Structure 1
């Protein structure tokens, strides 16, 4: 029983520390993975362009995960993205709702702000630095 209480206290301390590190309202996603099929472009009724693709993320010793990614009004360089590209996605999580087959459905996806080649170390660092600056990592 004492071990359980000690673990519970340690968990609360970890949560408290994490809440001080990450400001309320932070929604930051950084993924590195492989595009599993050619990205699909769509024109939306609003006039915006939407690029979507599935990213397969594989950590050592864990099963691969498929993450849906949407990029609204992507950069011109997005036209070069293709199946099997190793990329870094910087963005945020969003859940959107839509009508399908007469009912409301939802989808959780990563809304990309930038998609960069995983080999572009300097560009990745430049894009991440301002986003991480708001975190209290010291």
Structure 2
């Protein structure tokens, strides 16, 4: 791999909704969830949006177990790699960016979810 490039993502934010487990036609399982992260002050000056919602995907058994135990409102920190995904929608093919998780930890549980 070229040492001058990298695809490393680190995010800390609040879980938005519960995790969803899916089985793919290939037999692979994954757990997906969304994380809400605040935008920087500089980014908020350019846009009215104050947060971004990012799709996370956990592929390995250990990460699927960790992600499955998360609840809406939990604050988590994840690392991973940015991926572009494609799907068929009602308007035709669509693409979106998401993060394939390589590590995940709960920073703080949502006290109201417990």
TM range, smaller chain: 0.7 to 0.9
- Structure 2 gaps of 5+ residues are 45-49, 109-114
Number of equivalent positions? 98
Residues 1:45 and 2:25 are matched in the alignment: yes
**TM-score between both structures, scaled by the size of structure 1:** 0.61
Could you tell me which runs of 5 or more consecutive residues in structure 1 were left unpaired when the two chains were aligned: 1-21, 120-138
Moved >6 Å (runs of 4+): none
Structure with bigger RCO (C-alpha 8 Å, 6+ apart): 2
Task: Determine whether 1:87 maps to 2:76.
Answer: yes
Q: Determine which structure has more spread, i.e. the larger CA radius of gyration.
A: 1
Structure with the bigger percentage of strand: 2
Deviation of 1:53 after TM superposition, in Å, equals 1.2
| RMSD (Å) for aligned C-alpha atoms | 2.2
Report the TM-score, using the length of structure 2 for normalisation.
0.73
1:98 offset after TM fit, Å?
3.0
Q: Secondary structure, in 3 states, of the residue corresponding to 1:83?
A: coil
Q: In proportion to residue count, which structure has more helix?
A: 1
